[in-house]
């Protein structure tokens, strides 16, 4: 329940270890709560997923029977008339890749907040005897009977609840709901329009992507585009509330309006969407996710999106998330589905490099992820991705690369820091060398945040520098533990391209 001070990247801090960052810093500096009625605990702004469920319930309940609460005020929000408490979760137990990587063997902030909330709910449940249902992207982590019992949960919904939320809540009231449900929306018309403002003015432009990566839960959803008229209605709700921009959530924004098997972006559909939303009075239109392949397939499209936002003239940079995952050809063919289309899997290394160049030229800041510790990856295959990060350094790439430990939804083959080999450690180290360089470059941009006063900016600068120093210090200690006292310099130099017998050449 935070707007992250207008910077979605601060959300990564919630994945960091609770014990290393004072709670007042987390709550006040990075993730202050959304506007909340102090007397009732009603949140004035909520996650778009909660707003979807709220709208679905309003099709069968009265307005005064539905209440969106700030979890810090549950004692004021829950009472004798409460029948069902629904919880939206992103990563409740800290099992997602970003969290397991940033908080190895430690309790993350997102997990701590969830545990604390559940402890409050369990006590209130004893007093008022209501039902508890959990859904959202991280619901899969709780889909086990023992975990549900510990956290006081009656039902877990994995998937999309839009079509069945109303019936489910009725069943929960009557005590006739199942313990676990898996569900997906079949008809886009059954996704209800939101009726209240959302965190960071985020609205949902589409669902699913159709790329087919085997490690991604989103792949289970068919691609559905929401019409412009509907997006304008939802954007207006946020602009009327007071937000000055519009953020479009998607699993692959540049496939909006795309209906061809080659995954060639529909430039007209996307630029029409951008212009229509920008014309409503927004300072800019941003998006959460893109792919390098779509960017490289139509460089003009990204240029036009930047021009609509006037990014070339006002100097604004916008960040978005992209997945690199790996550039080793065999791994790409095996795990990335059709993520490389309209290019071939063998071209993925070139596609990522070219896409990154195009983004930087047009004032887009990539927040990219890659996966370390694939169960079947060899050190020679890891070398391909090490070479990529080395090229980023040489070309002065402006973007963050988050190396994430491989996580298996079955929890059987997940990677852990203690299992890293030398090549995998080198990739991790090179990524954070890149991030150190980039963070130093973008600190002035971060500190322009208008919600910070001068003293807070000084504090923030010191905090960012201390945080990056702590990460590198941790990695140095990890290297010594893993490789018999060796320092990173003793390991990573072996994987420099000049010494690599299999250094690939990327051309097209």
Q: Which domains are seen in the chain, by residue range?
A: 207-372 (3.20.20.70)
Stretch 146-168: mean pLDDT, rounded? 95
**Length of the chain, in residues:** 508
Question: For residue 279, with 0-12 CB atoms within 10 Å meaning exposed, 13-18 middle and 19 or more buried, which class applies?
Answer: exposed
* β-strands 180-183, 155-159 pairing: parallel
Contacts (Cβ under 8 Å, ≥6 apart) of 67: 40, 42, 77
**Residues of the chain above pLDDT 70, percent:** 94
Stretch 387-405: mean pLDDT, rounded? 95
Residue 498 has pLDDT above 50, yes or no: no
pLDDT band, residue 503 (cuts 50/70/90): very low
Q: Is the dihedral angle over the CA atoms 128, 134, 138, 142 positive or is it negative?
A: positive
pLDDT in tens, 194-216: 999 999 999 999 988 878 787 77
Q: What is the pLDDT of residue 446?
A: 65
Residue 181 has pLDDT above 80, yes or no: yes
pLDDT band, residue 508 (cuts 50/70/90): low
Whether omega for the bond prior to residue 479 falls within 30 degrees of 0, making it cis, is no
Q: What is the pLDDT of residue 360?
A: 97
Q: What is the pLDDT of residue 464?
A: 76
Specify whether the CB–CB gap between 231 and 299 falls below 8 A: no
Lowest mean pLDDT among 49-53, 304-308, 461-465, 488-492: 461-465
pLDDT in tens, 399-435: 999 999 998 766 677 888 999 999 999 999 999 999 9
Question: For residue 260, with 0-12 CB atoms within 10 Å meaning exposed, 13-18 middle and 19 or more buried, which class applies?
Answer: exposed
Q: What's the whole-number average pLDDT of the chain?
A: 91
pLDDT band, residue 93 (cuts 50/70/90): very high
Residue 506 has pLDDT above 50, yes or no: no
Residue 499 has pLDDT above 60, yes or no: no
Greatest mean pLDDT range, 26-30, 236-240, 376-380, 442-446: 236-240
pLDDT in tens, 100-143: 888 887 899 999 999 999 999 999 999 999 999 999 999 999 99
**Residues of the chain above pLDDT 90, percent:** 71
Specify whether the CB–CB gap between 364 and 320 falls below 8 A: yes
Q: What is the pLDDT of residue 220?
A: 60
Q: What is the pLDDT of residue 102?
A: 85
pLDDT band, residue 354 (cuts 50/70/90): very high
- What element of type H or E holds 74? helix 74-77
pLDDT band, residue 257 (cuts 50/70/90): very high
- Tell me the chain's radius of gyration from C-alpha atoms: 23
Q: What is the pLDDT of residue 448?
A: 65
Residue 263 has pLDDT above 50, yes or no: yes
Stretch 72-95: mean pLDDT, rounded? 96
Residue 450 DSSP one-character state: T
pTM: 0.91
């Amino acid at each position: 329940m935070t707007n992250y001070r207008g910077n979605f990247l601060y959300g990564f801090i919630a994945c960091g270890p609770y014990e290393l960052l004072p709670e007042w810093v987390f709550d006040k500096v990075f993730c202050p709560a959304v506007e909340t009625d102090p007397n009732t605990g009603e949140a004035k702004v909520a996650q778009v997923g909660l707003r979807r469920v709220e709208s679905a319930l309003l099709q069968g309940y009265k307005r005064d029977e539905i209440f969106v609460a700030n979890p810090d005020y549950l004692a004021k929000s829950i009472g004798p008339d409460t029948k069902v408490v629904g919880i939206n979760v992103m990563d409740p137990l800290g099992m997602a890749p970003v969290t397991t990587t940033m908080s190895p063997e430690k309790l993350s902030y997102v997990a701590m907040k969830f545990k604390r909330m559940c402890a409050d709910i369990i006590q209130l449940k004893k007093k008022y005897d209501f039902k508890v249902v959990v859904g959202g992207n991280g619901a899969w982590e709780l889909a086990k009977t023992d975990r549900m019992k510990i956290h006081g949960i009656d039902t877990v919904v994995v998937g999309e609840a839009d079509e069945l939320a109303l019936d489910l809540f009725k069943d929960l009231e009557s005590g006739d709901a199942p313990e676990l449900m898996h569900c997906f929306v079949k008809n886009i018309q059954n996704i209800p329009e939101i009726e209240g403002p959302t965190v960071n003015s985020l609205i949902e432009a589409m669902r699913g992507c159709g790329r087919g990566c085997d490690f991604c839960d989103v792949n289970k959803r068919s691609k559905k585009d929401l019409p412009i008229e509907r997006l304008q209605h939802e954007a207006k709700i946020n602009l009327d509330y007071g937000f000055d921009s519009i953020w479009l959530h998607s699993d692959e924004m540049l496939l909006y309006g795309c209906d061809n098997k080659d995954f060639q972006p529909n430039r007209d559909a996307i630029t029409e969407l951008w212009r229509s939303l920008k014309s409503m009075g927004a300072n800019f239109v941003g998006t959460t996710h893109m792919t390098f392949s779509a960017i490289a397939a139509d460089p003009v499209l990204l240029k036009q999106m930047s021009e609509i936002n006037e990014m070339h003239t006002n100097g604004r940079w916008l960040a978005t998330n992209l997945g690199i995952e790996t550039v080793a050809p065999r791994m790409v063919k095996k795990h990335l589905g059709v993520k490389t289309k309209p290019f071939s899997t063998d071209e993925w290394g070139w596609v990522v490099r070219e896409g990154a160049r195009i983004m930087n030229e047009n004032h887009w800041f990539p927040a990219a992820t890659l996966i370390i510790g694939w169960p079947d990856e060899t050190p020679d295959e890891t070398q391909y991705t090490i070479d990529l990060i080395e090229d980023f350094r040489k070309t002065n790439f402006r973007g963050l690369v988050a190396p994430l430990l491989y996580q298996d939804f079955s929890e059987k083959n997940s990677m852990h820091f203690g299992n890293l080999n030398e090549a995998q450690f080198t990739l991790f180290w090179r990524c954070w060398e890149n991030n150190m360089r980039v963070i130093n470059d973008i600190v002035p941009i971060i500190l322009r945040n208008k919600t910070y006063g001068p003293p807070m900016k000084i504090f923030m600068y010191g905090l960012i520098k201390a945080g990056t120093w702590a990460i590198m210090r941790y990695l140095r200690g990890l290297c010594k533990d893993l490789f018999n006292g060796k320092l990173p310099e003793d390991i990573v130099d072996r994987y420099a391209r000049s010494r690599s017998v299999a250094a690939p050449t990327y051309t097209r």
